[in-house]
Structures are given as C-alpha cells and as structure tokens.
Amino acid sequence: MRFSRIIQTIAASAALAASFSVAAQNVICYNCPPEWADWATQIKTIKEKTGITVPPDNKNSGQALAQIMAEKASPVADFTYVGVTFGIEAKKNDIITPYKPAGWNDVPAGLKDPEGYWTTIHSGTMGLMVNVDALKGKPVPHSWADLLKPEYKGLIGYLDPASAFVGYVGAVAVNQALGGTLDNFTPGINYFKALQKNQPIVPKQTSYARLISGEIPILFGYDFDAYRAKYKDKANVAFVIPTEGTVTVPYVVSLVKNGPNQANAKKVLDFLLSNEGQAIWANAYLRPVRASAISKEAEARFLPAADYARAKPIDYGKMATVQRQFSERYLAEVK
Amino acid sequence: MKQSLRFYLQLAFTLLVCAFLIVPVLLSMLAGVTENFFVGLSSGFTLRWVVQVWDTYQMTIWRSIVIALACLAVTLLVGVPLAYMLARYKGGNSRLARVFEELLMMPVAVPGLATALALIMAYGQYRAFRSSLLFILVGHVLFTLPFMVRPVLAVMQSSQLAVLEEAAASLGAGMRQRFFGVVVPNVMSGILAGALMVVTLSIGEFNITWMLHTPLTMTLPVGLADSYASMRLEVGSAYTLIFLFMIIPLLIAMQWVTQTTRARVRL
Amino acid sequence: MSVTAKNPRRKQPGSRVWLFAVPGMTLFAAFWLLPMLRLVGVGASGPTGAMAYLAVVTNRHYLSSLVSTLLLSGVVTVATLAISSFVGLFLQRNRFPGKALLLAMLTFPLAFPGVVVGFMVIMLAGRQGLIGVLTEKLFGESLVFAYSLTGLFVGYLYFSIPRVILTVIAAAEKLDPSLEEAARSLGANPWRVFRDVVVPALTPALISSGAICFATSVGAFGTAFTLATNIDVLPMAIYNEFTSYANFAMAAALSIVLGVITWIALALARSLSGSTVPATA
C-alpha cells in the first residue's frame, strides 16, 4: 500500500540524514570562511598534518557570536574565529573557555586575553580597496578626504557601520584618522554625512565579489582582501593606506565553552599558532601575530613599511563598549 | 482590428514580465561559464567555475534534494488529512478551523530567524537531533505546510466532492474508506499543485535554515548565498547554473504530471 | 467493514473528522507553537523587561522600519496580484509550444533565497547591470536603480510573482467560459466582462494568494539584506539586534510583534471575503 512506501522513504531519509552527521574526526569552527584569510588552505593543511577535519563555515563574527549564544545550553561549535571586539564580548557573555595554545608566549601582551580566553592569530589593516580598471581612467584616491571629491560620485562603497563589524572598523578608522577618539565620533559622523553626496553603496555584508566585478570600484576593506584580489584572482586592484591614517584589527580564536570535541579543538588552535599555521596566514597576506613567520617574498608584496606606519592599534575593549552608541548615532544622523 | 491590437499588447506585457523573471537567470548562467564577467564575453568560455563549485558544494545540492523530498513526504502525510479536517469540521463552517489556518501561515510571516531561534532553544540540547538533517527538515516542514494545505483545501471545497462523499457514506463506506477511496483520488490536482510548491520552496528555503544548519549540514541556498556574497560573481553564477540544470527537469516533470492529471480528473 | 457497524444515515464525516488533524496539530504545537510561546518569555527577559514589546512603537527607528515593511509589503502585494492576474489569464488561455518549459522557468525563482534575488536585481539594474549598459548605449547616461526603493520593490516583485501566478493560472482553469460568453452576447464590452465576470470569480484565489504574498514579503529578509537600501525593513532590524549585539530579547520581541501584526492583517483580509469561508486555491 502507498502508506508503507511512504514510511520506507522517510526511514531511508532519516538513515541518510543520520549518516551525514557522523562525527568522526571533526572539529566545528564557527566563522572559518574558505575565501576569507585563505582558511581553505589552512583547513586543508590542518587535515594533512593532524588528520582533523574542520568543515568551512561562512558566518561572520557577529553571526558566529549570536549563534554560539543561542546554543549555549548545548554548543555545536568547538572553536570560533572572530574580530577582537567580539572575542571580548564572548568572554563577557561566558560562552568561551580559556586555553593557552602552544606558542602563547610569543604573542604580544596587548594581543591576547591575559587569562587565555582568546588569542590573536593574525591582523589586518583597514584601508581602501580600489579596482583600478573599474575607475575608467580616474586617479586612484590617496586619502579619506579624496573620496569626498565629486569625480568619485557613484564609485564608492563602504560596509554599513551599524550592522557589519568591518563597517564599524571602517568608521572607527576614519574617525581616528580625522582627529576623533572613541569618545568623540563627531569627525567620523561628519565625514559620512559629507560622503552621502557621492551616493555610496552601503552593503551589509562582505562585498569582495562586487569589488572584483567592478560594481563597487572603491571599497573600504582590509589589506589582505585587496592583496588576494591582486595576486590570487589577478584583478587590477590596488590597496591604499590613506594619508590621514587608519587602524589595524586583530582577529582572534577562542575555544567554545562545553564544545563537543574539545581535545581535538585544542590541537587545531595549537596548529594555528604554530610556525606552519602562521606561515599560511603570511602567505595569504595577513600579518601573522608571531612576526617571525612571515617570509621575505610575502613581505615584498605588502605595501612599504612607511605606509603601514600610518596604521595604529587602538583600545579594542573600549571599541566594543562604545559600538552600540555609535550605531545609534550613525542611524540617527547619517541615514 | 481592435481585438488583435489588445491581444498584442497583452502578449507584449506578458513577454516583458517573463523576460523580467528569466533574463537575470540567463545572465547569471552565462556569467557562470565566462572567464571574467567584468571583462565580458570576450574573455572566453570556461568550465572551471562549474568544476570549482561542484568540488566545493556538491554535497549541499544532494542534501537539499533529500530534504526537499523528505519534506514533501511529511507534508503529504500530515497536510492532506489536515486539509480534510479544515474542510469538513463542523460542516466546513468552523471558526476554530479558520483560526488554525491562519496560524499555519505564521511560520511564513514571522522572520525565519525567530522560528529557528525558538527551535534551537526548545530542542537544541538533543545533540544528535540538533546536528542532523532532521532538525533542518522540521524547519522546512513548518514553513511549507501551509503551501500544501491551502491548494488541497481549495479543491476539497468543491461541492461535487461533498456529494461524492455523501454517496459513499450512504453506501456504508467508513471514514477511512471515504478518505482514501473518494477524497484523495479526487483532490489530486490540489495535491500536485501543493507538491510542486513544497519541493520548490524547500529547495530554496534560506531564512530558517541559515540558523538551523551546522557546517556539516549546509544546504544549497546557504551555500548559494555564501558564494554570491564572498566569492567571485562567476562562482555564484556557476552554482546557479548547476542548480538550474538539476531543478528544471524536476519542475517540468511535476508540471507535466499536473497537466495530465488535470486532464484526466475533472471535478 | 460491516455495514451495520456504521450508522447508514450519517451523511457528514461526523465528529471524528478532527482525528485527521492530530498529526498536523501535534507537529505544529510541538515545533512551532510551544517554542514560540517560550520565545515570548525570551522577549521579555531583556534589560527593559516586557517593555521591549512596546519598543516597536516607542523606538523611532523600529517604528519607521515597521511602517516601511508593512507599506512595502502592501504595495508589492497589490502590484503582484495585478500583474499576475493579467499575465496568468493570458498564459492560461493561449496554447503554444514550450508552455511547460516557460511555466517551469517562471516557477524557478521560487527556489532562490532572497540573497540571490538581490543579486539578480543587481545584475538587472546595478551599476553594471543590463539596464545600465543598455541605457548608457541608447541615451548616454546609465540608469541604475538597484540600490534605491525601486530596486527593492522590483526585488520583492521578483520573488512574489512566481508565487501568485501559478495560483492564478490554476484558478483561471476553473473559470466557466459560458458565463463570459453570456455576458458578451448580452452586449458587455471586454473591459466589463473582465471587471464583472472574471474578477469576481478569481477574487477568492486572489485574496488567498495575496495573503501568502503579504506574509512572505513581511518576513522577507535576504533581498533587503543584499540590496542594502537606505530603508531598513523590520526583519533587517531584527537581524541587526541579533548579530551585532546578540540581543535576543529585542530580536524575539520584535519578531513576535511582527507576527502578531501580520496575523491581524491576514484576519482582516479574511473578513473581507467572509469570515467562515476557508481559503481557496
């Protein structure tokens, strides 16, 4: 009878479903996108060297944090990779657990949580990613102020500071560069108000694809994304560290509290800080936190050190605390 | 003369709407086989994006198909009898039934994030359940159930069906016999319409699945959205291309079955 | 089954028909109703307590999001119904080769997540979109509307039309051509035939699919997310609360308020077509 056939189909599907979720040597990462910071190579190497499979995951920092909190009672993730302010938030929300991976001592004091809740694995620098071909002959901008010129109308994009972490970093960078501080966002807000005249596109998520396709020729973003576009995807993309200055942002990893596969997750974190792991970041144009790992040829592809001297770290804890106020101010005054 | 002008205007408008829906899909498919979309067609044709997508995302396609078929099975088993109750309870004039019908639409109206969050909070602690495709299936069934119930209910409203049922009842057929022997065969057109919607919507369900999935249970829409956002346009487009080639035959087959059944079963 | 075991005079399915609803109701209660009720509690667990539920009216940003969402969904629904009726009727009444393929292609966008619909709109009307390139060639200036309210509207149309058009075609099949012929033979012009014969016959299907269209638009998130228009629809605000600040309480509260408002809107629509008449098509 039709009934029993239907039951059979369901049972078969359930069995199939169960087979798809067999654990094996799996360590779950939240926010390990294959294309971001070349996690694809990192994941492949981890599998080769340790036998542990880390499936890629395409969340962003905010989504990862929210998902881990939602699953607090029974976590699915073993570790997570987030922007530093989210690491600080995660600690406040008691969803991560301390672990000091091998290589801990080599990480500078300002770039790790003193109790071991999180540690930086690499940093990026905020700036302007420019698709030179898509500019159709216009000069490449050199400063934040350049973008206010009418010749760049319709060519600019920046991530929404009120809903994307990278967007917020961009806003903080502009603000610091123009003389503001984390207590005083007025220069930044005024800048964005002025920028609206040039009809910018304000996406809410990474828009790497749109930079390459030419839809957004000038995009606020990280140096490593620009270098990836230039050297890996062979697009004519230039990275600009604006003359007024910018900020560097560390990205951190943490062990999730009560994750299902803690022992293996610790091995993965060890690998990320090891010479080999750090070298992979360096080859993907990120600044590895253990500076000794960067090779000469990778170093040669970065912009000169003189440019990077304009990029400064800031008080990341404070940056996390003032984020909400800034968002509300941005929504009220700029939108 | 006037008649044919009206006809051509209607035709033009129809073609415009169809073009609006189809052209971007065709563009996307074209981008999926182009070497470099920014440069355009002159950069040459290539299958490397298609290969890249197949390598990276193959599992998501199969997973989505399995979930969609399972979703269809569940909504059939659960939705058709449910539609029957909504049609016949208190002779089809029940306020309670109407309220419940509205309630069924809620998972569609409430942002998927909320439905998913509610599910995680209520059942997340059952790890095996949480990490399996069944968890995603539950979300899909909640979302697609009204799309099965409504078309079936619509056909069940027909007064001719009620007459047939009465006749069967007066001949001594029990409730179960009436349902399987009289009702189901006659509402086939509604069931098939519902089935088409359920399968298509399940394959494309994103909002709820986005929170319910784990890195090990990624489905096609999640992968598709990711590839459009974080990879080159050509990769997302190649994904769309593969997706299209796998789905269109299924959609045409369901269309065809609907047509032939409709021709045979006139209610 | 023996005849004498059943009452031969029973015509209606009787009081036991509710049994048919048991699997459905159990599933729905267990996996949606009860978890949602629990979410109501979560909504009230934030720093402002139960006041979070009033935030949608007290907070200027949320209120304008809510109003934009409802307005946008309403306009999209009306436009979709108009376009779909027109096109659906035409398609149903004319035979041509490749009809099945065409209908399949029209249904295909149903399977797109909202994010991809956003990218389709960008392909059509973005800075490098087809329309931009064409208008640049024809008029020298490119028309770009993907990132404006028009673009958002077009995106919503893109996923709404496929939903409604199939229902309209199905309902159009059931239209009785003899009624239209009778009207024409009595001297009515085509417009009056359409207005007084066709539309009333289609109305139950239109109201029902309009309700689905409205509900879907209200809950839609991916398209607005990708197009990132200046207008923030409420699902975007909810997403923001959730991912930028992990503010579950506010996200839950706003979601529930949105659900309740949609339910009221759907109930109102139902009362327009008779309160105990079930949804058709």
The pLDDT value given to residue C133:
85
The residue type at A219: L
Listing DSSP states for A159-191 in one string gives: --TTT-HHHHHHHHHHHHHTT-BTTB-HHHHHH
- Collect all residues of chain A within an 8 Å Cβ-Cβ radius of residue B74: 10
Backbone φ, ψ for residue A33 (5° rounding): -75, 135
The H-assigned helical ranges of chain A are 2-20, 39-50, 61-70, 84-92, 165-177, 186-195, 208-213, 223-227, 262-273, 275-283, 296-301, 305-308, 316-321, 323-333
Q: State whether C122 and A215 contact (CB < 8 Å).
A: yes
CA distance C78 to chain B (A): 16
Q: Give the minimum alpha-carbon distance from B55 to chain C in angstroms, rounded to a whole number.
A: 21
Contacts 24+ apart (CB under 8 A), C19-23: C19/B85, C20/B81, C20/B82, C20/B84, C20/B85, C20/B179, C21/B81, C21/B82, C21/B85, C21/B86, C21/B89, C21/B100, C23/B77, C23/B78, C23/B81, C23/B82
Q: Which residues in chain C have their CB less than 8 angstroms from residue B15's CB?
A: none
Confidence of residue C277 (pLDDT cuts 50, 70, 90): very low
Contact: C236, A163; criterion CB under 8 Å = yes
The span from the CA of B262 to the CA of B190, in Å, is 9
Taking Cα atoms as reference points, which of A259, A214, A277, A219 lies closest to residue A43? A277
C77 touches A at CB < 8 Å? no
pLDDT tens digit sequence for A80-104: 999 999 999 899 999 999 999 988 9
**Would you call B247 an interface residue with chain C, using a CB distance cutoff of 8 Å?**
yes
Strands A96-97 and A246-256: antiparallel
Alpha-carbon span C37 to C256, nearest angstrom: 9
Residue C1, pLDDT score: 44
Identify all chain A residues contacting C242, using CB atoms and an 8 Å cutoff.
66
DSSP string, B126-166: -HHHHTSHHHHHHHHHHHHHHHHHHHHHHHHT-HHHHHHHH
Q: How many residues does chain B have?
A: 267
Token pair for A106: 């080599």
Mean per-residue pLDDT, C130-143:
85
Which residues on neighbouring strands pair with residue A97, listed in sequence order? A255
The four Cα atoms A70, A74, A79, A82 give a dihedral, to 10 degrees, of 10
Whole-number pLDDT of residue A37: 86
DSSP C197: I
pLDDT 10s digit of each residue in chain B, 267 long?
A: 456 788 888 888 888 888 898 898 888 888 888 877 766 777 788 888 889 888 888 899 889 999 999 999 999 999 999 999 888 888 777 888 888 888 898 898 888 889 999 999 999 888 889 989 999 999 999 999 999 998 888 888 776 788 888 898 898 888 888 888 888 888 887 888 889 889 988 998 988 998 899 999 999 988 888 888 777 788 888 988 888 887 778 777 777 777 776 555 444
Q: Are A286 and A277 in contact (CB under 8 A)?
A: no
Pairing of strands A119-131, A218-222: antiparallel
Question: What tokens appear for B6 in the block?
Answer: 């009206």
User: With an 8 Å Cβ cutoff, are C127 and A215 in contact?
Assistant: yes
d(CA B154, CA B166): 19
Among chain B residues, CA nearest to C163: B197
The Cα–Cα gap between A211 and A207 comes to: 7
**Do residue B228 and residue A213 have CB atoms under 8 angstroms apart?**
no
CA distance B100 to B77: 18
Residue with tokens 């000091």: A100
Shortest distance, CA C56 to any CA of chain B (angstroms): 15
Phi, psi of B66 (to 5 degrees): -60, -45
Q: And the tokens for A183?
A: 């207590």
**CA A18, A21, A23 angle in degrees (round to 5)?**
125
A260 close contact with B: CB closer than 8 A: yes
Chain B residues touching residue A35 (CB < 8 angstroms): 230-231
Is the separation of the CB atoms in A106 and A275 below 8 Å?
no
| Residue C279: pLDDT band with limits 50, 70, 90 | very low
ipTM: 0.84
**β-pair partners for A246:** A311
Report yes or no: C226 at the A interface, CB cutoff 8 Å: yes
Bridge-based pairing state of the strands A29-30 and A79-83? parallel
Q: Quick check: A70 and B121 CB within 8 A?
A: yes
Q: Which of A306, A123, A151 is nearest to A218 (CA)?
A: A151
What is the pLDDT averaged over residues C229-245? Answer: 84
Predicted pLDDT at B218: 92
- Touching check for A89 and chain C: CB below 8 Å? yes
**Considering only CB atoms, which chain C residues are within 8 Å of A215?**
122, 126-128
Tell me the nearest-neighbour CA distance from B11 into chain A, angstroms: 34
C246 min Cα distance to partner chain B (Å): 12
Spatial separation of the C-alpha atoms in residues C27 and C5, rounded to whole Å: 32
Q: Quick: pLDDT tens for A286-299.
A: 888 887 777 788 78
By Cβ distance, the residue of A16, A36, A76 closest to B131 is A76
pLDDT of residue A4: 55
Q: Which positions 95-154 of B are in contact with C (Cβ < 8 Å)?
A: 95, 97-98, 100-115, 117-119, 121-123, 138, 141-142, 145-147, 149-151, 153-154
Number of helical H runs and strand E runs in chain B: 13, 0
- The residue-averaged pLDDT of C10-18 equals 63
Contacts of A252 (CB under 8 A, 6+ apart): A81, A82, A83, A84, A87, A112, A118, A119, A120, A121
In angstroms, what separates the C-alpha of C55 from chain B's closest C-alpha?
17
pLDDT above 50 for C251? yes
Of B258, B230, B195, nearest in space to A203 by CA: B230
Would you state the pLDDT for residue A245? 93
Phi, psi of B36 (to 5 degrees): -150, 110
For A67, phi and psi rounded to 5 degrees? -65, -40
Return d(Cα C66, Cα A147) in angstroms, integer: 34
Angle at C114 between CA C110 and CA C115, to 5 degrees: 135
Q: Give tens-digit pLDDT for C27-81.
A: 999 999 999 999 998 888 888 888 888 888 888 889 999 999 999 999 999 999 9
Instruction: Establish if B40 touches chain C: CB-CB under 8 angstroms.
Output: no
**Cβ pair C153, C229 in contact under 8 A:** no
Tell whether pTM > 0.80.
yes
